[in-house]
Chains A and B, each alone.
Chain A
Amino acid sequence: MAQSVAVKTRDTENVSIEVPLERPSEWEPEILAFACHYCAFAAADLSGVMRLSYPYNVKIIRMPCTGKLDQSYVLRAFERGVDGAFVAG
């Protein structure tokens, strides 16, 4: 199990957070993004139009709005091995 360390934050006494394990060199994380059609998905398009480059292991699922996100999507993704997920809108 990951160890945790106590950290004093601004408004709470020492909250324990997991210490991230150091990253094995050849490991390729699977990242999943839930993006709102109007803003984040459009921003992803714009970064392509401007030929900006970013790591390839993120894939984007288009949604009508981030409000549409259901916990079961994120949990389903994690259960099936996705390493990280973010929601952008």
Chain B
Amino acid sequence: MSQQRAVKTDSKLEKILAAGHLAVTSECGPPRGSDPDVITHKGNMLKEYVDVVNITDNQTSMTRMCSLAACIRLKQLGVEPVLQMVTRDRNRIALQSDILGAASFDITNVLCLSGDHQSFGDCPNGQNVHDLDSMQLIQTVRYMRDEGKFLGGDDIKRPPKMFVGAAANPFADPFEIRVPRLAKKIAAGVEFIQTQCIYNLDKFELWMKQVRDRGLHEKVYILAGLTPFKNAGMAKYMRSRVPGMDVPDDVVKRMSDTPKEKQAEEGLNICIESIERLKQIEGVHGFHIMAIEWEEKVPEIVKRAGLWPRPEVS
């Protein structure tokens, strides 16, 4: 496994990764309402089986409970959250103040994203912000942490100690700039990456090879994103409707060839097989299992993929 690296924050995820273990993270979407139990229920389910849990920030521009509140709920449950922040909805003042808010609850992981365009969500007529873009947000969080200063230049009393992450989509166009873009994010200060869900393993391996060629896998922890198919319909939807998603035809065919009642199980098998194959790829430091509205299956996946029990770090 990769060698030890210095730990800069109290983030459990950073410690696990620095210790060279394969990290496992998951994701859950906060409710479209104020009921906290949705978070606590999902938190408890994932607690034993993953190291940290991402909380999405108004994913696909659908208005939901804010990511910060859900993270605080998880924190109170003893589950380490990853605060996702999109630059679509807040300008630089709101972003910095939310980071401080999260830091005050010792939330130590943040994922910087541009966010989906508001026309996908429930308020297509709304104005978007995009004061910063995702890379500039990475710079901002690292500046607040390492320099202890606001963007405006003033000092921050008790600066936030966040382990900074970002997303990466090896399958979006134009393919030839996807690795340079990762390099750019690293230059901006990103420390861990959670990739888009992987179905085209060949293309991912090619991307990883190019990452390794530039030695980027030693500069950033890369977590391979996975989403098991519940049924053939979901596979077809992901292939055609979700931008930047690369679902090869043979995977879709494999799903649609299996009879209806067995398709969920087949989806999980594909996920497990992918994890086995991803384990062999040098530079993959862990898995980000996004079981959208299927969180209950994460334990089974983690167990069957031989990633259980989770390592203990102090």
A and B touching (C-beta < 8 Å)? no
Chain B residues at the A interface, C-beta cutoff of 8 Å: none
